Structure 1
Amino acid sequence: VKEWLQTVVDKLTKEWEPAKCQSLFTESELIELCYRAREMFWMQPALIELNPPINVMGDIHGQFEDLIALFTLNGFPPDKKYLFLGDYVDRGPYSLEVIVLLFAYKVSSSFYSVVLYECFQFAFYCMPFCARISKIIMCMHGGISESLVNFSQIAKIQRPCDIPDMGLLADLTWADPDPAVAGYEESPRGAASVFGKDALKSFCDQLGLELVIRAHQILQNRIQIAS
């Protein structure tokens, strides 16, 4: 299995080019990879505890060439550790390559068929929801949640599960900061909530956090720090 996974990685990092998009693997190989990734996700808690040094990455959105550029700049797994916060696929033309490479590293755009699509979807449903670095840095794709008052709540969530429109999981996945908001308000998008700086401070104080790292939004300067 280890040799097969290395072959998957080598094909994507050494042989891939746009002309070979979605042609390097058979459907059966990708289904096998999804099954193995799903088992890995299931074995992890819903809140992952991590230690630095670690590279925290935001949305990739199917931009495989950008993903390779990030690895080239910062170092490839497993030599360097990475935490990806979500939005791995869609929008970009090479979603399949992105998620296959990430899954292959984890275990060691259209999909091929409905069966393969469902395999990837089910693997997504098993993923952890967030991570904590050194107990003081919380990382997620979306944002903070008024519903989260203790980290034990996350451990009690049963997976696989879909993400609802409202509540704790919706906020961790889709919530956004809004400097015009005091506390929490329902998002105008109709899913999850928006939160203000005061809510962020209260959230960090209550949970003993010093920093929250999130993705989900495009920033002109690539990074924005709110204090």
Structure 2
Amino acid sequence: MSLDFIIENEALRERFRGWKDVYMFSIVDISDEYVRVHDTPAQGPQSHICLYARKRAMRFYRAQITDTEPVVMHLAKQLERLQRGELLDCATFVALCDRVKDILVQDENIVHIASPVTICGDIHGQFYDLLELFKLSDAVPSTNYIFLGDFVDRGAMSVETIALLCIFKVLYPSAVTLLRGNHESRQTTAVYGFQVECLKKYDGDPRPYKACMEMFDYLPLGALVDQHLLCLHGGLSPAIHHLDQLRMINRFMEIPPDGPFADIVWSDPDPKNTGFHLSPRGAGYIFGGDIVEKFLHVNGLHHMSRAHQLCMEGYQVLFRETFSTVWSAPNYCHRFGNLAAVMEVDEHFQRSYKIFKEANRSQSVDVQGSASSSADVIDAGYFT
């Protein structure tokens, strides 16, 4: 089986030539109006490289196929479906997770990101609040986005939430960074709702959940903004003193119950203590400002940003402005009444926080539209 595609040519010819060997397709015809390509199986008879064309950009993804026809995902249409609150079909969701996994395998444990960047905390399946979040800052890809993990569980629309983030990861792989949180694991999702949600929404079919869990195993563990701001989901570990130790962790697996991998997705800061102490969560540690100060100094860092803890005002800054927690799930679980926030870092490394409330679910949101400038920057308290 083979597929032909007609792609509008907007200065893409050289990009096609440069990617030819990687994506294993041959150029059939080129003109000023279009590029026609003929693809060949990349990994045996069960996969093809398919092309998705937009007006100003073109992205690739690998689609799993049946014996007779490929599952071709028109991502713009799938994005529109998600904005309407509709579920992606099973085959599309599985293929989307597989494509994201193909992208993530190329990332190191710590991804290097340039400012400007918007840093987002826990989402926890609050899909409409995620749509609201995208109104706060510039649209992708004019600014980079880092999501600090915990995309799923607890909220009722975790499937739609991770699907939306995956679509943006495929469309803008270098502009959207997804990090691993403690809820991106089989053990946690089996307890806090995502596994049940997947099985219920896909009529008991185990493939979507399985594909998503396998994709989670490939998520990077951290992001480094302009070489000076480290992003993790949880916190620090007594076993990690240098960034190179973080880079050496084998992340392509289920999160273990203990050790440095577990620590960085489970640990929390404690402004009332010094040193490391076992966490009351049962995994990871709590750590004091002295630990943060030493880690930043040894690694030439200026700031560390993480998520993992509910902040009633959306964020909290600790340890003489060197450490911040960002929380992006407003009115968490529809009962805490908290605000949510994102942290923006501009080209001059200036940090600011934008606050938002729970979304009005009756409103339609264009996640690729222009940004709203109505968010206020306010001082934050903290909820432990």
1:121 to 206, 210, 213: 213
Deviations 1:81-127 (A, max 9, x none): 21000010111111111100100110115112322101100100110
- Give the equivalent residue in structure 2 for 1:83: 146
SS in structure 1 at match of 2:155: coil
Higher mean displacement: 144-153 or 126-135:
144-153
- Give the equivalent residue in structure 1 for 2:246: 154
5+ residue gaps, structure 1: none
- Give the equivalent residue in structure 2 for 1:171: 263
Please, what TM-score do these two structures have when normalized by structure 2? Answer: 0.55
Offset at 1:134? 0.9
- Give the equivalent residue in structure 1 for 2:75: 5
The 2-side partners of 1:167 and 1:135 are apart by 26
- Give the equivalent residue in structure 2 for 1:132: 224
1:202 to 278, 294, 314: 294
- Give the equivalent residue in structure 2 for 1:63: 126
The 2-side partners of 1:168 and 1:132 are apart by 18
- Give the equivalent residue in structure 1 for 2:314: 222
Greater helix proportion:
1
**Equivalent AA in structure 2 for residue 8 of structure 1:** Q
Offset at 1:193? 0.8
Please, what TM-score do these two structures have when normalized by structure 1? Answer: 0.92
- Do structure 1's residue 180 and structure 2's residue 243 form an aligned pair? no
Q: Higher RCO, 1 or 2 (CA under 8 Å, sep at least 6)?
A: 1
Greater strand proportion:
2
**Equivalent AA in structure 2 for residue 213 of structure 1:** S
Higher mean displacement: 174-183 or 55-64:
174-183
Deviations 1:40-93 (A, max 9, x none): 111111100111000000000000111100112213323332100001011111
Question: Sequence identity of aligned pairs in percent?
Answer: 34
- Do structure 1's residue 193 and structure 2's residue 250 form an aligned pair? no
**Equivalent AA in structure 1 for residue 290 of structure 2:** D
Kindly tell me: are residues 177 and 159 of structure 1, through their superposed partners in 2, closer, same or farther at Cα, counting changes over 3 Å? closer
The 2-side partners of 1:50 and 1:76 are apart by 17
- Do structure 1's residue 211 and structure 2's residue 285 form an aligned pair? no
**Equivalent AA in structure 2 for residue 57 of structure 1:** C
The 1-side partners of 2:277 and 2:234 are apart by 15
The 1-side partners of 2:227 and 2:257 are apart by 28
**Equivalent AA in structure 2 for residue 71 of structure 1:** F
Offset at 1:163? 1.3
The 2-side partners of 1:177 and 1:192 are apart by 11
**Equivalent AA in structure 2 for residue 84 of structure 1:** F
* 1:93-108 → structure 2 map (5 Å cutoff): 93-108=156-171
Q: Is the 8 A contact 1:60 1:88 kept in 2?
A: yes
The 2-side partners of 1:188 and 1:215 are apart by 17
Offset at 1:165? 2.2
5+ residue gaps, structure 2: 1-50, 54-73, 172-193, 321-384
Offset at 1:146? 2.1
The 2-side partners of 1:97 and 1:78 are apart by 21
Compute the RMSD of aligned alpha carbons: 1.4
Q: Is the 8 A contact 2:251 2:261 kept in 1?
A: no
* Alignment size in residue pairs: 220
The 2-side partners of 1:87 and 1:154 are apart by 20
**Equivalent AA in structure 2 for residue 103 of structure 1:** C
**Equivalent AA in structure 2 for residue 82 of structure 1:** Y
The 1-side partners of 2:158 and 2:312 are apart by 23
**Equivalent AA in structure 1 for residue 267 of structure 2:** A
The 1-side partners of 2:246 and 2:291 are apart by 19
**Equivalent AA in structure 1 for residue 213 of structure 2:** Q
Higher mean displacement: 1-10 or 46-55:
1-10
